[in-house]
Chain A
Amino acid sequence: MTEAKSVKMSYDVAGGDFDRAGEASANIKRMLQKIGIPADIVRRVAIGTYEAEMNVLIHAGGGTVNAEIFTDHTVINISDHGPGIPDIKLAMQEGWSTAPDYIRQMGFGAGMGLPNMMKCSDKFDIQSKIGEGTSITMEFNHISEDL
Chain B
Amino acid sequence: MNLKDVQRVLKAKILVGEEFMDRPAETCCGSDLMSDVLAFTKCNTLLCTGLTNIQVIRTAGITDLCGIVIVRGKLPSPDFLNFAREAGMPVLSTGLTLFEACGLLYVAGLRGCSQEGGCSL
What is the total number of residues of chain A having a CB less than 8 Å from a CB of chain B? 27
The interface residues of chain B lying within 8 Å CB-to-CB of A50 are: 38, 58-59, 62
The interface residues of chain A lying within 8 Å CB-to-CB of B121 are: 39-40, 43, 146
> Is A109 positioned at the interface, with any CB of B under 8 Å from its CB?
yes
Q: How far is the CA of A32 from the CA of B33 in the complex (A)?
A: 27
> B28-49: contact bitstring with A at CB < 8 Å (1 yes, 0 no)?
0000111111110001000000
Nearest A residue to B79 via CB reads A19
Nearest A residue to B121 via CB reads A40
> Is A22 positioned at the interface, with any CB of B under 8 Å from its CB?
yes
User: What number of A-B contacts does a CB cutoff of 8 Å give?
Assistant: 69
What is the total number of residues of chain B having a CB less than 8 Å from a CB of chain A? 22
A-B pairs, top 10 by smallest CB distance, nearest first, are A110-B35, A107-B34, A22-B58, A40-B121, A112-B35, A112-B39, A116-B39, A50-B62, A46-B62, A43-B121
